[in-house]
Amino acid sequence: MREIVLNDGNKLPCVGFGTYKATNESGYEVVLDAIKAGYRLLDTAKVYGNEEDVARAVKESGIPRQEFFITSKLDRNMLGYDNAKSELENSLKRLGTDYIDLYLLHWPRPDYGKADFDDWKHLDIESWKALEELQKEGKIRSIGVSNFLPHHLQNLLDHTDVVPAVDQLELHPGYTQASACAFCKNHGIALEAWSPIGRGRLSDNAILNSLAPKYNTSIPHLCLVFLHQEGIIVLPKSANYERMKENMALDDMIISEEDMWKIRTMPQVGWSGEHPDCERVYF
């Protein structure tokens, strides 16, 4: 599988398995199926409540730990220097490992309405300094962020030493976050896409429905190939083994540049309603 070289020299596969809500019913078996399908980048988080499932699947796969790229994240309500240090240790225990390949600040602010919601700049800086130290100690290989927009990233760039290796954003056709992506690319920050197929909200889109038959593919697969061609790491999730394999096969088709522009310039559609600077919007 093709890999992307991060700004710290480490490498990540171009396709990973997203575990958010993916283990609610079958537990670790879903992750184990993903491993059997060929996934080595496994994306989890404390808030997902399935770090133990990921650990069990990795162990039972029989594949050496060093062949995996495990991502976890610091809960947005546990920001701060001391919290970041202790939460990383807790994740290491739940994951049954002595290092995490990629550890992210999950959101730049605590939950909307929390007393420290507006203290995000200080919290992010202190959290990031803790991650920098943990990286030097070898407990984290790469450090990054999730759901950080340019003004959140600039705060880190101005006050800390290590440029984030990754920014994980909601990215899919109809929600490409062009400004945030351009900022990341200009600063050598790799992009990862969560919700890369828009959580089923793109199935009725006229543009995608006109293009999918042209490439003899499905709308979800078209979305993944689009992001893949943009140089973005994708984190699809599925409990279906055949779909897991299909989601990894992203080099089997090429979208023309004309059609790429059609997708890039789609009207906004499929947004989850989640934004780091405001209350969640429910549709």
Residues carrying an active site annotation: 48
> How far, in Å, are 12, 104, 274 from residue 22 at the CA level?
21, 19, 19
Other Cβ atoms less than 10 A from the Cβ of 178: the count is 9
Other Cβ atoms less than 10 A from the Cβ of 272: the count is 16
**Containing H/E element for 209?**
helix 206-211
**Containing H/E element for 244?**
helix 241-248
Structure-token pair, residue 99: 């290092």
Nearest C-alpha neighbor of 127 from the set 113, 141, 110, 115: 110
**Containing H/E element for 34?**
helix 28-37
**Radius of gyration for the alpha carbons in the chain, expressed in angstroms and rounded:** 18
> How far, in Å, are 39, 51, 115, 158, 240 from residue 236 at the CA level?
11, 17, 34, 33, 12
Structure-token pair, residue 49: 């409540």
**Containing H/E element for 246?**
helix 241-248
